[in-house]
Homo-oligomer: A and B are copies of this chain.
Amino acid sequence: MKTRIGIFGYGNLGRGVECAVNKAPDMELAAVFTRRDPASVQIRTQNVPVVHADDILSWKDRIDVLILCGGSAFDLPSQTPLYAKDFNVVDSFDTHANIPEHFAAVDAACAGRQTAVISAGWDPGLFSLTRVYANAVLPDGKDYTFWGRGVSQGHSDAVRRIKGVKNAKQYTVPVDAALEAVRSGETPELTTRQKHTREVFVVAEEGADKEQIVHDIVTLKNYFDEYDTTVNFISEEEFNANHTGMAHGGFVFRSGTTGWDSENRHIIEYSLKLDSNPEFTGSVITAYARAVKKLYDTGVTGCKTVLDIPPALLSAEDPAELRKHLL
């Protein structure tokens, strides 16, 4: 019997999950849940209902794992603990600083009955795995994480709130020289400014004071003031033609030493180059939904993270096959 998946929230991430579930040989989409009017939500999968969030409890026995596709700022902090009371759940909660609190809330909600995995994306997620493995293997060392080139939703939103800005997109860009220094075996102390630059593309409102907009962006506290930021004014046409993509990526390094006199250096590098951030994140979260089902079936309950999950549980393949072909 296939694992019956519910998707909660049908934005970019929900659509990415739908596509990943469709490709999984051992899963089927049972329902999509939305807080909007279900009649207004058009999904891709045939013969699968779109259900209002208010009716979700009636689906309790028809869903094996509920994948929560809301945002980390306003949706998941309340949704994941709420639905973990009645469903096995997985989310991609990505506010690093609040993970311990979120973990505790979801674990309490599971109440020894349900199984949950939180923060299953690429950072946190695959990047975290790399950091933990690399730290365990090289206890003497230094971690570096770089993000980009890719869109930061939070920074784009912040720019859009500035007076005179009609539309905006912000790209986080890792600094090549810093990447190369780490890759070559140096272990520099890098300031925020030395690790990433920020590129902003702005569609200004007619008659807006562009000099003022630039000033307001580059001095914006917590968003741009610690970075070298480039602001480019473009037309709405150019914006729509070139800045609606969702590519992203990044790099994790651990540079460490072994030997009695720390004389041997080792560099571990993991990188992602992603055409579609939501489709890739959706693929990660779907693989962890598979693990949630396997854990639940063997009686393991409570909140878990990617750090607690044996890698083989993510695969649709049999463990003996994995040992034969991928080990």
Contacts and interface: CB of A to CB of B under 8 A. Distances in A.
A139 interface: yes
Given A132-B326, A135-B326, A264 B276 contact: yes
Contact of A24 (B139, B282, B283): B139
Interface in A85-143: 96, 99-100, 103, 119, 124, 126, 128-133, 135-140
Given A96-B327, A270-B269, A132 B315 contact: yes
Interface of A: 16, 19-20, 22-24, 44, 96, 99-100, 103, 119, 124, 126, 128-133, 135-140, 185, 258-260, 263-276, 279-280, 282-284, 287, 290, 305-312, 314-316, 319-320, 322-324, 326-327
A276 B256 CA distance: 12
B308 A319 contact: yes
Contacts of A275: 258, 263-266
A264 B19 CA distance: 12
Contacts of A308: 310-312, 319
A267 B276 CA distance: 11
Contacts of A103: 323
